[in-house]
Structure formats: structure tokens, C-alpha cells
Amino acid sequence: DAGVIQSPRHEVTEMGQEVTLRCKPISGHNSLFWYRQTMMRGLELLIYFNNNVPIDDSGMPEDRFSAKMPNASFSTLKIQPSEPRDSAVYFCASSFVGYSNQPQHFGDGTRLSIL
């Protein structure tokens, strides 16, 4: 079974550039989460979607960050313009949230470096 698929695995770009991270959740899952992880701040929830609808984006750092989920099998996280402090590992996770509580499953992550 395919797990959560993220792309790219690594991204190195200069500050000011637009960065787009992509995620394909596990088929059948109805919830998708974007996280950011750094040594200093640990794992932070940025935004989560349920049935393609953003439920809580309170973790999105600022207006430079945006996320979309146009359909059940695809989501993007965009940073525009990017800054060096955005450097981190970005994880996408999916789960089925319903009457039985299922765990989250994570993608491999995108390692983002902003120079």
C-alpha cells in the first residue's frame, strides 16, 4: 500500500523565491495535516484539512504561508516569499478521523533550505 507521498524530498532555494511543497495522502483518509519541524521548535502543526476543507490554520506562521487541498488526493503548501527562517523539515500526514480514532501516517518530509 502506498503511504503518504511528499515532493520534493529536498529543496534548496534563495530567499525571496516561491516554494511549493506537495503531498498525496493515503487513499481513503479524510484528514490531512501539514507540520514543520526544527531543532529549536520541535514539531509544529501548521494546518489541517478535513474532507478537503481547512479546519484550523492557526499554526500558519504568517501570510507568506498558504495551503490548499483542491481534491482528496492532493495538497500543496506554498511559501511566498521564502525567508531563511523558513528552513525546516516539512511533513505531511494523513489519517481517517471518524467514529474510531485512527493514528496519523507521515510522509518522508521535505527538507527545505532557504539561503
With CB under 8 A as the contact rule, which of the stretches 8-16, 21-29, 48-56, 69-77 interacts with other proteins?
Answer: 48-56
Which residue, 82 or 95, is less far from other proteins as judged by CB? Answer: 95
Which of 67, 79, 95, 112 touches other proteins by CB under 8 A?
A: 95
Q: Kindly compute the dihedral angle of the four CA atoms of residues 8, 14, 18, 21, in this order, to the nearest 10 degrees.
A: 20
Whose cell is 481547512? That residue is 54
Q: Any contact of residue 94 with other proteins (CB under 8 A)?
A: no
Three state DSSP letters for 91-112? EEEEECECCCECCCEECCCEEE
Q: Which stretch binds other proteins (CB under 8 A): 21-29, 40-48, 61-69, 74-82?
A: 40-48
Verify binding: residue 101, other proteins, rule CB under 8 A: yes
Task: Please give the single-letter amino acid code of residue 84.
Answer: P
